[in-house]
Each structure stands twice: as C-alpha cells, then as structure tokens.
Amino acid sequence: MEGPKAQLECKNCNKFQNDFYPVDSHLTNMVEIDGKTYITDVSYGVSCQLWYPLEMISGKDQPQPPGVFRLLNNGMIWVLEKTSRKQVVKDKANANSSLIDRRLVKTMYCFPLTPRNKEHFVETLDCLQTSPDSRFVLKSICSLQTPNGFRALIGWTYSEITYNPEEDSDMVDMKEIPDSEIEAVLKEKFNVVLVNKLTPKNKKANYCM
C-alpha cells in the first residue's frame, strides 16, 4: 500500500513530493465478513483513524465518527478518501496553528490488491524512522482515540478534539505543555510511562491533525 500525500519519498530518503509514496509504506488487511470484502486498518491516528472496517465498494460513502470515508477504484488501484467536518478552535489564539486540518476532503492513501508480507516494508519503515527528512524524526507524535474524539500530543502541543457531527464541526482545545509536565500528560492522558525521558520535537514538517 502506498502512503498518504505530501510525505517523505523513501526511495532516496531525502525528498518530499505532493503525491503518493513511490514505494509501499503502509500495510492493511483485506478480509471477508459474511461474504462481503472489507479492508481493516487503523490508518494514521488523529482525525484519520478508521473505527470500523470499510466495505470494498467503489464510491460508497461510509460514515464513521471521525467523518465520511469512501473507497474509489479506477480499475488499477484503490484510493481511500475522507470527508471531514470543520475544525473549530476553542481558543482563538491557536486558530492559525499549522496542526489544524483545514481540508474538508482529503486523499489518505492508495493501494493495489497485491498481497504483501511484513518483510516487504522493512526498508521503507527503517527510512521513515531514521531519515532526517521524515516527519516521524522531526516531530514527536502521540495520539489516542476517545469515545467522542481523540487526544494528541505533538511536540509540546496537547490537543483534545471532540466530534460534533450534529453541528457538522469538531471542537479543538489546544494548549502548550512545559517540559516539566510532559511526563505527567503522557501518563494521565495517554496511560504511557516511558523508561527514558521524552525530549519533545516539533520541527518544521507537513503534519496536521
């Protein structure tokens, strides 16, 4: 499966492009349930999280708590697309944050129906974890789905997003966390206790919630 748009090109580990990854970078599962075919994938967390399997029908809107997902097929590849709700920032001082996703419709990834094993992805995943151009090296990212939205700690920015489909919007509550409180936030909000102290990272890279 090829990764989302505007991310690292892992062929040389040093380029960005406004297109899909030129190499496979994300593994999903195709399963059969009661005679129907689905993909089962947790996707990328934050607002892109899939909560339920998606039926393999091209063009069918499939509503879930984070938004409306749909699969599109051009005869060669499948593309996963999502229609989101507008993100409304509670504190206007954070309204221009680069973490706010202003796209209402976005393409998440594409994939062919070619069976792969986990070894197929090793080189690309190593690149994503070690390349100085990778967003996963440039930023520290922790996210957790909640019954009505999600939480995220990206660098020093902690966000709580509450889904509000009745008003076609999602409420975003953001605040900056000082270094002295990072470990407490990880434990209290994400149930994460690290062996080593986390040094947050939030260097320039294309990433939004």
Q: Give the model's pLDDT for residue 21.
A: 58
What is the tens place of the pLDDT at every residue in 5-36?
333 233 333 333 345 555 677 788 899 999 99
What is the tens place of the pLDDT at every residue in 33-85?
999 999 998 777 898 889 999 999 999 999 999 999 999 998 888 999 999 99
Q: Give the model's pLDDT for residue 207.
A: 84
Summarize the confidence of residues 96-110 as an average pLDDT.
90
d(CA 15, CA 23): 13
What is the tens place of the pLDDT at every residue in 148-164?
999 999 999 999 999 99
pTM value > 0.85: no
